[in-house]
Structure 1
Amino acid sequence: MNKTALFDSLTEQKPDQLLELIAKFAADPRSGKVDLGVGVYRDETGRTPVMKAVKAAEHYLWETQESKSYIGPEGDPAFLRMLALEVFGERHAGKPVAGIQTPGGTGALRLAAELLSLDKRRKIWIGTPTWVNHQAIFASVGLQIGTYRFFDIGTQTALVDEMLTTLRNAAPGDAVLLQASCHNPTGAGLSRQNWQDIAAIIADKGLLPLFDSAYQGLGHGLVEDAAGMMSVIEAVGEAMVAVSCSKSFSLYRERTGAAYLFGDLQASLNKGVGNLASHARTSYSMPPAHGAAIVAAILQDPSRRQTWVDELNEMRIRITDIRRAAAEAFGQFRPELAGIGSQEGMFSLLPISPENARRLRAEHGIYMPDSGRINVAGMRVEDVASVAERIGPYLA
């Protein structure tokens, strides 16, 4: 009998660098090591705690939940309804909206990519640098990818003019990926005028915006972090939004997210959700239920919701305090890095070579990916100055 040679013929894949960093950090015995790599929020003790609102919701579910049956490919209707109200507001930009629950924001992006790829002529435009998984997700479904420079590391500024020029030259029907707030990996924010200019061009050119909303509430506030996204949605005919609950609810391992569609006709949105559900059925079949039930239990109860809002505000304020300290400490080595203080969310991008990032790991126990992206929430405020002292000499 002939033996198959499938596994032997496979191309060996490079391990994900961030996942490698987790293992290397855990194996490092040095007491002064610092993890700036993995994108999870940490408190002043270095922990990623379960939020009090989540604990309260889980206790409520333990008392009241009567079944662990499937919830269907579309997911939990209460979760989808309450999350949409929280993310988009009562008016939903005056447009009908429909959604489907997904395994995290990544699952939502993948389903959106499947929908976009149905038109083989379509290209999706992505600003660089961006989250490391973005391009891989869209390439995996055969979408054409166009890129433009979004951020200059040396000056720590968003290249808005380059972005707008690219969108003006895009073809009608092309998609554009936009991060709603707290840009990963740069932390660069856009002004109200920037968002208005983006909205005008997308509407004029007939482009389809896809928003990645993963950090709402960790930049300037729940409403403020969605304002730019909503101005675009209000101006265009159709839009797609991938929402992650990992950061805002600290539900990382529960894989809780949703994909939402906006349009002018509810019937068309229902058709779109039907297509998303069809792709979900042949991929993961049904979404995990527990995280969605937690979010719904929090948002449906005024007391639990207020506890969550208060905790989220505490997280945001802590990140802001770290940024202020980092702006002063890193700005002593590179004046442009004082801009870290005006950036938003968990991430910033340092001008450092891959070689020096590796040297920092080996010589000082400071862990960051070779790109120089740091999770500012991985530092304690009191440690920022000493971390900057170790990193400063290695900056480009």
Structure 2
Amino acid sequence: MAELFPKDTVFTVSNLTSLIRDLLEGTFSNITLEGEISNYRPNASGHLYFTLKDEGAQISAVMFRGRAMSLDFVPKDGMKVKCTGSISVYAPRGNYQIIINKMEIAGAGNILQILEERKRRLAAEGLFNSENKKPIPRFSKRIGIVTSPTGAALRDILQITKRRNPGVDVVILPALVQGDGAAITIANMIKTANDFNMCEVLIVGRGGGSLEDLLPFSEEVVVRAIASSKIPVVSAVGHEIDWALSDYAADMRAPTPSAAAELVVPKQSDILEGLAAYRQEFYHQISSKVERLKLMVKSFDVANMEIRFRSIEQPLLNRLENARTALIEGINQKVRDTKSMVEQSVRILEQASPQTILNRGYSMVRTQEGKVVRRGTDVLPGAKIEITPASGKIFATVD
């Protein structure tokens, strides 16, 4: 430095700061820094301001909104992170900071913490609800596998599928299963399978690995792709003790990729045995129905039909004969009753007839004008009257 700047050189603050900025920004343009978050201050505009520190030092850090939107976790004080970015000098204050382009959790403990936080957040959205789970088809003709095309998981699935049922078609949707970009390729393959309706069930997974290796299957983009899949999804990540967030979003979780193949690929021998049992049961039911139909048809032969017809006809004939007899008897009784009533009416009329009364010795007296005389005062002396006995007429003068 002595050779570059003579001892009597006098710098302005701006000149010195500019030299320092050129030196730092030109030297540390893309570095990876690991430290603990402190004094975390998210800005209303979306920028993140905080301090990265370790046991011996600290540095100011900023992550602008465009980069911060890509984070799949919420930074907190005390969280250990690994950041990639560039050193920048802020001349007005004379301090330097790191502008972060990428940030991720550092250490397994923090990974578990962020996964738990993500799990709670996605569960609150309903992505893991049991009522959204779709049933896995019992007899799938075509299955899709989203995994590494070179991994042992794919070989195991293909071997088990061929052994259990060679008639099942397999569609391989190759994807990265660890490292940068893995989550995006997994989600894209799930979407592709749905867009083109490529299979009846999807197996999404990989073989065993470290916690970091399995992280792509816990990324939010993969969880959302599984939850929105119209094709039923079986999650098969790692070994039985391994868990990923894809297990919660999937319609079924398999402990291993091999177990997933066992679940979705029906065993051909089991299918044939089931078909044989159904065929036997079907034959038995048909035979029973045929025997019942034979008995029914037998009851309709000529002899049986005549007997059945007679058994139906005879009661009706008896009822008809009884009705005819009752009708004739009723008519006769009605005639007798009517005749008796008529005779009685004739007798009553005859007894009330004026002629009958006259025959008893009575007579009817009328005036000359024809008025019936009922009292002596009805006529005057000298009046002409007409007396009608039972037979003939008598004319007289009242004295």
TM-score range, shorter chain: under 0.3
TM-score by length of 1: 0.26
TM-score by length of 2: 0.26
Q: Larger C-alpha radius of gyration, 1 or 2? A: 2
Structure showing the higher strand proportion among its residues: 2
